[in-house]
């Protein structure tokens, strides 16, 4: 029983190579050298005082980018989906009513997660490219009396920026928590957690923040905490239990922090540095830069004869643009041609927008006139060289 029967895999004995690419899909975006270098710093323990200091800096950075004073503000170890589950699993108990706005894939996923824990889920479905009005939301809140209303601020599958004003107040009138997904929008367009009455807000590290995927900033209002900490049942997930996470991140009043999980320290370094980059630029400057780049992009697309999928200007998400799939072309050929010829990622639709759109993400350091021109040149080239059916 001493001989190995499985040899070392030959693929692992070759040098490790990863290509450099222009990451202009809906995420992840390119990670600038400063943030990559932060990830190369020595690994220290997940309970060392220095990592707690770094985690405190991350909490302050998230409070800034979310514009919140919530003390329950931290980063989930995981991607955006982990933050979605953290929000839903902690705030909702089995049998409770949940309402999800579905104007793309993210509302569908939120509904799926809530169903898995035995919630009574209702959805408000809008065709891809659209959004809900205040009166539609009010009607559904009064009918279903949910404990949580889910809304994607930036619907990255359809390119819609959902208006938020007035929805927080409305939810509170019906004693409902407002849960907002800002994975694709945060940092690229105005969002004010406290002023807009958002109870639970989360985002991802790999979009406007330009950090690698793997951490997901999240924050809970006092109102949300009241609900979470007065539950009758324990959340189904140990890893995402807010009681534990609050302690690990030093968000509770307890004098000492306990081991819950091994925090991904390298991912914390990169998140810390990405928050520093955004803080140095200033949120308002970043919002303006994303808006300007998006408008430059829209003008260039129109010149190419391409159409924007979201008709109303104010409902266009500046970080992820959806383009009506060009008539007569196979969208897969267009995206593969651009990848092969220009080493540049753009993507097709997702969920309800598959086949309908091309999606281009210009986030964080990728949101500039120069990068927009690069995408426009690649699209122009693809339209000239990809097969076009005679229709």
Footprint of ligand PMP (CB under 6 A): 26-27, 79-81, 106, 152, 154, 156, 181, 183-184, 204, 213
163 or 213: CB nearest ligand PMP: 213
Q: What span, in angstroms and rounded, lies between the C-alpha atoms of 123 and 121?
A: 7
Q: How far is the CB of 320 from ligand PMP (least distance, A)?
A: 7
Residue number, nearest CB to ligand PMP: 80
- DSSP assigned state of 212: P
Which residue, 106, 81, 80, 24, is CA-closest to 320?
24
CB of 65 to ligand PMP, least distance (A): 16
Q: Do residues 322 and 307 lie in contact, with contact meaning Cβ atoms separated by under 8 Å?
A: no
Measured CA to CA, the distance from residue 3 to residue 190 in angstroms comes to: 62
Please state the closest distance from residue 80 (CB atom) to ligand PMP, in A.
Answer: 2
At residue 193, what are phi and psi to the nearest 5 degrees? -55, -55
**Closest distance to ligand PMP from the beta carbon of 31 (Å):** 14
| Nearest to ligand PMP of 82, 386 (CB atom) | 82
**Residues in the chain, total:** 391
What is the nearest approach in angstroms of ligand PMP to the Cβ of residue 194? 21
Nearest to 208 by CA among 313, 152, 301, 281: 281
In whole angstroms, how close is the CB of 185 to ligand PMP at the nearest point? Answer: 7
CB closer to ligand PMP out of 29 and 156: 156
Smaller CB separation from ligand PMP, 250 or 351: 351
* Tokens coding 50: 């220095």
Q: Which residue, 215 or 247, has its beta carbon nearer to ligand PMP? A: 215
Q: What phi-psi label fits residue 118: left (phi over 0), alpha (psi between -120 and 50 degrees) or beta?
A: left
CB of 122 to ligand PMP, least distance (A): 20
Instruction: Return the number of the residue (197 or 212) whose C-beta is nearest ligand PMP.
Output: 212
What minimum distance in Å lies between the beta carbon of 328 and ligand PMP? 29
Minimum CB separation from ligand PMP for residue 183, in Å? Answer: 4
CB nearer to ligand PMP: pick between 21 and 69: 21
Integer angstrom CA distances of residue 381 from 304, 336, 386: 10, 12, 8
Q: Which is nearer to ligand PMP, 102 or 183 (CB)?
A: 183
Q: At what angle do helices 283-303 and 265-281 cross, to 10 degrees?
A: 80
Phi-psi region of 313 (alpha: psi -120 to 50; beta: other; left: phi over 0): alpha
Residue closer to ligand PMP (CB basis): 183 or 251: 183
Range 238-246, long-range pairs (CB < 8 A, 24+ positions): 239/77, 240/76, 240/82, 240/85, 240/86, 240/89, 240/90, 241/90, 242/72, 242/86, 242/90, 245/74, 245/76, 245/86, 246/72, 246/74
Residue 98 backbone phi and psi in degrees, to 5:
-130, 140
């Amino acid at each position: 029983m001493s001989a190995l029967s499985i040899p070392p895999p030959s693929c692992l004995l070759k040098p490790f190579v990863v290509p450099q690419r222009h990451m202009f899909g809906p995420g992840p975006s390119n990670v600038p050298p400063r943030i990559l270098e932060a990830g190369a710093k020595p690994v220290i323990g997940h309970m060392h005082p220095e990592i707690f200091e770094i985690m405190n800096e991350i909490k302050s950075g998230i409070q800034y980018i979310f514009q919140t004073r919530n003390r329950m503000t931290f980063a989930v170890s995981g991607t955006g989906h982990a933050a979605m589950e953290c929000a839903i699993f902690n705030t909702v108990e089995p049998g409770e009513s949940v309402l999800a706005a579905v104007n793309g894939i993210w509302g569908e996923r939120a509904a799926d997660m809530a169903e898995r824990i035995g919630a009574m889920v209702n959805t408000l479905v809008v065709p891809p490219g659209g959004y809900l009005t205040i009166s539609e939301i009010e009607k559904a809140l009064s009918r279903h009396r949910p404990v949580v209303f889910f809304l994607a601020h930036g619907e990255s599958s359809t390119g819609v920026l959902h208006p938020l004003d007035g929805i927080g107040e409305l939810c509170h009138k019906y004693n409902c928590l407002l849960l907002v997904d800002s994975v694709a929008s945060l940092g690229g367009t105005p969002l004010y957690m406290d002023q807009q009455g958002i109870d639970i807000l989360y985002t991802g590290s790999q979009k406007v923040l330009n950090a690698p995927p793997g951490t997901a900033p999240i924050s809970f209002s006092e109102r949300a905490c009241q609900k979470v900490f007065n539950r009758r049942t324990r959340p189904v997930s140990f890893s995402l239990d807010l009681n534990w996470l609050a302690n690990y991140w030093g968000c509770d009043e307890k004098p000492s922090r306990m081991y819950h999980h091994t925090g991904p320290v390298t991912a914390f370094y990169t998140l810390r540095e990405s928050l520093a980059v955004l803080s140095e630029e200033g949120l308002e400057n970043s919002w303006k830069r994303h808006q300007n780049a998006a408008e430059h992009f829209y003008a260039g697309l129109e010149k190419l004869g391409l159409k924007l999928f979201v008709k109303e200007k104010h409902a266009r998400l500046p970080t992820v643009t959806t383009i009506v799939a060009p008539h007569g072309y196979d969208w897969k050929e267009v995206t593969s041609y651009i990848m092969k010829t220009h080493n540049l990622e753009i993507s097709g639709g997702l969920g309800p927008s598959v086949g309908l759109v091309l999606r281009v993400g210009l986030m964080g350091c990728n949101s500039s006139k120069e990068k927009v021109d690069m995408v426009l040149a690649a699209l122009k080239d693809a339209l000239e060289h990809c097969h076009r059916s005679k229709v």
